[in-house]
């Protein structure tokens, strides 16, 4: 069982050791130098960071409770989605 702690942030990282393990899964071996080089070529480290942040944001959005909306509020939102062309013009007598 995980120990519960009050956290103010979550930090994730991919280390050279992780990269070496990932390479082994793919049937390849990487030296320390090759792993460091891989992470630092062509902005890969920054690209990985952006992917990790995006994944974290998607996870948070999927887990946050949605605000409840009233029936009236849903009706107003539904009416706002109707295009003006689809709304009949008022009849003038």
Dihedral, 56, 60, 63, 67 alpha carbons, nearest 10: -160
The answer to whether position 44 is within a domain reads yes
pTM (whole model) above 0.85: no
The answer to whether position 74 is within a domain reads yes
Domain count, the chain: 1
pLDDT digit string (tens) for 4-41? 888 899 888 999 999 999 999 999 999 999 999 999 99
The answer to whether position 32 is within a domain reads yes
Owning domain of residue 60: 16-82
Kindly report the three-state secondary structure assignment for every residue of the chain. Answer: CCCCCCCCCCCCCCCHHHHHHHHHHCCCCCCHHHHHHHHHHHHHHHHHHHHHHHHHHHHHHHHCCCCCCCHHHHHHHHHHCCCHHHCCCCCCC
The answer to whether position 93 is within a domain reads no
């Amino acid at each position: 069982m995980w120990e519960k702690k009050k956290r103010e942030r979550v930090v994730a990282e991919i280390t050279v050791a992780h990269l070496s393990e990932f390479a082994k899964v793919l049937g390849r071996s990487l030296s320390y130098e090759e792993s460091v080089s891989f992470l630092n070529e062509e902005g890969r480290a920054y690209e990985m960071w952006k992917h990790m942040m995006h994944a974290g944001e998607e996870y948070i959005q999927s887990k946050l409770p949605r605000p409840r909306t009233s029936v009236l509020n849903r009706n107003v939102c539904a009416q706002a989605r109707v295009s003006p062309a689809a709304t009949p013009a008022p009849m003038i007598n």
